Amino acid sequence: MDTALIAVLGTLLGAVVTHFFQARSTERAAALARDEQLRQERISTYSAFAGAVIEYRRSQNDRWFRTMDAGRHAPEAEESRFESYRLRTAARQALFRVQLVSDDLRARELADAAFEVTNCMHEARDGEDRARRSEQARQALEEFIEAAAPSVR
């Protein structure tokens, strides 16, 4: 009977230990899957934001040139202004996604800065000011990408 009791206790102990290790392994696998899913979401979000800001920057340049060439109330200028509004909305939506998925305060601040600098491009007084603002917007976006990149590597 002692032998049977020892065998039963050994089997129970083995089952408990196996359960413990399997639970830890499952938790680790779930954590890795969550981390990878968040990483993929960040890559997608950061890429979409960069693309949206690039398109918005292009439209702001176009808006400025059309306003300077045709006049503020010309149909071409109005059309480019409305296009810049549409792209601003898309860039702002992408910015909101960045704010939701990024836990890096600096990256979020740089994303805000990239959006704001791009948003003010059409206010340039002359060609030199427009070129300077366009370059600032490009640099601000690069700074965001550099700050965000470590979180997806």
Task: Give pLDDT tens digits for 127-153.
Answer: 999 999 999 999 999 999 999 999 998
What are the domain boundaries of the chain?
41-152
What's the distance, CA 11 to chain centroid?
A: 51
pTM of the model: 0.83
Query: Which tens digits make up the pLDDT trace of 78-128?
Result: 999 999 999 999 999 999 999 999 999 999 999 999 999 999 999 999 999
Catalogue the E-assigned strands of the chain: none
Whether 89 contacts 83, CB under 8 Å: no
Residues 6+ positions from 42 with CB-CB distance below 8 Å: 101, 102, 148, 151, 152
Rounded CA-CA distance 21/46 in Å is 37
**Hey, what's the torsion of the CAs at 58, 142, 38, 20, to 10 degrees?**
170
